[in-house]
Structure 1
Amino acid sequence: MRSLLLVGLLAPAMLSAQVRARTVGLAPGIFAPGPFNAITDVAGVRVGHATVSEGDSLRTGVTAIVPHGGDLYRERVPAALHVGNGFGKLLGVTQLRELGEVETPILLTCTLCIWPAGDALAQWMLQKPENASVRSINPIVGETNDGQLNATRWRGGIGRAVVQALESANPGAVAEGSVGAGHGTVMFGWKGGIGTASRVLPASLGGHTVGVLVQGNYGGVLQMAGVPIGPLLGRYAFQRDVAPLRPGGAGGPGDAHAERGDGSCMIVIATDAPLLARNLERLGARAIMGLARTGSSASNGSGDYVLAFSTSPRVRRNPDAALSTNDELGNDAMSALFQAVTEATEEALYNALLMATPVSSRAGTVRPLPVDSVRTLLRARGIGR
């Protein structure tokens, strides 16, 4: 278990996990996942979480994605950003777009935590002996607003959480649900969180791996494999403004905030395919298609950001090199990767919902999507067993 709990005066007991998407028959697409069905199926990628829970108000955390185990500052990975809707904050974005690369791990946290998180990441990088002469560092920190459960103005413990998330980062299975940066998040009126998934292309299509990790904190009209789960359960965006879409739903105005489809979603993509910034941005754009399949319409208040990077040693960047020579995948080879990232993003978002556990704070309790009800609704349409 790679999730760390930073204990304050009061800390709720860790709650048992629910199930991953494939357990209920949700396996989007045609390509197979990697052995962990996680972003860490891309060789070298590591993930760490630090969950911050203190008193009756602080419900947040940090998730760290480390692209490879080498010297990130001198072996920079090509990277790109795609913005679905830009109502959010992303630290380090201008340099990322200008140079088409990242030189630090990638952090996810809460909206008002990005500045202390960025400072802690910069300090962590600068303290490395090999960086003793470095005078500039560009931390990459993404966020979603977990203010429904979290006292987001109080940013205590974030610096420590950054260090713990970075130093606990490991390959292998990734903790999902209400952990790390997903501790205080909400999706479609139910508990949201961290989710991950991967796809491995067959050898005839290059054999490359694509992994996705999401921080889900958004709304809309939830659907799974095309089944209108939100309307069938009586919880969906704008339900107070329209005639009931389905009778007998198990939601209602008292069960959640007035769902308007708002929120945010951070999506991080890793691939071992040798791609530079231009094609990585194209790859990121397809992740939005996976987000849309879950029922998001990228509302006005939604910050939907996709950050994609390539771990391939063939395209890494040395800042001291006078000439960069790269073997980049051709455009015609991108279509299979587009399919793979769409599938993996959709499944990662399902995992974020289905693996979430209840979280309570002074503001109340947000409960997870009812798995048994979802299973029943899917089975009625021939999905799952």
Structure 2
Amino acid sequence: MQVAKKNDPLTFWENRENYMKTGFKFGVAVSGLVTMTAFGAWAQDLPKTMVWTSYDVGSAGYAEASAIADAFGKEFGTRVRIQPSGSGIGRLQPLLQGRADYAFLATEAFFVAEGAFDFATRDWGPRELRAVAGRPAGITLIAAGDAGIENVEDARGKRIAFVAGNPSVNVKCEAILAFGGLTLDDVEVVTFPTYGSAMASMTRNESDATCTTPTTSQLYELAESPRGIHYAPLEADNAAGWEGLLKVLPIMSPSDEDVAAGLEEGEIAKMAAYRYPVITTTAEKSADDVYAFIKSLDESYELYKNGTATMSRWTLEKSGKPAIDVPFHEGAIRYLKEKGIWTKEDDAWNEKRIARMDALLAAWEEFLPQNEALSDEEFSQAWMARRAELVSGLN
């Protein structure tokens, strides 16, 4: 059991220097606007200004977007405005409405591409997105050290923090609970309005556990607090556990994580692997623009690779490979091929993923007019059933 305790809890924003020692190193993008004046040569075709969306301030996704934006400013003079949001819908709407160039997403990229869960509504449905790159990440049930949750099954009857309008957190947590043979009926779901408030809720003793990436800043606060922190293990050899998890969310796999808040040097936490954050854009985005972006991401790597404890995983050999939530953008693939990273097997994966997305989009266009008379709840249930049927046939 990995438990870290100290007598005096620290707040992240008041003690950023301490957190820098654990890997969180922020540039000047504290308020979401990165402006640099000292820079080298401009990257060809990289815009002078860009807008990105990300998770809340204090999240790993915001920290990493900020570090990359800082590097873009220093290296290319590009000004990046980061729009943080605690909900997947809040991160997606600016992108889909053309008000943001890129979005640093979590699993909502997969959900919106499938029209699943919170996106199984008349106003949403499947949307066509493309990935630029995505860092490998780990996730498990993360508990306060004094909550009595040694393993996932111990979460029965405990308070589990969910985030309103955020299936990326909530469905992964539901899947992880299934690893321990639990459903949402077996726990007390406590829903918070934002990601940041949910992640900080354990430190405030408003919840006992949640599911997120283990380097989110609020978890460092939890590890430093009197409650401490513990990672419920997702052992790779627990076949029944993984069968239950993958029935809920079939995009994860076993992972050994060695970078996590409160984890002692040399320790390993058994988690599930996914991609977070995933740099995502629209399919209509110019291939030249995306090529320039991923090229700049690659060329400025040395400037941001130490921005957080896990940012070294943004090397394109790791972040530019399938599997990922949505198909890769053709502009990204062009650069990855030039670098010798993209393979024929990757092409095959991408073509299969595009075919799945195209099938869902076609099914949605057929489904909408046929189900106009249904109530909102009936509509969502009917689409999720149609989607499951379609996906089963594709596999």
TM-score by length of 2: 0.27
Structure with bigger strand share is 1
User: What TM-score results when the alignment is normalised by the length of structure 1?
Assistant: 0.27
Q: Greater helix share, 1 or 2?
A: 2
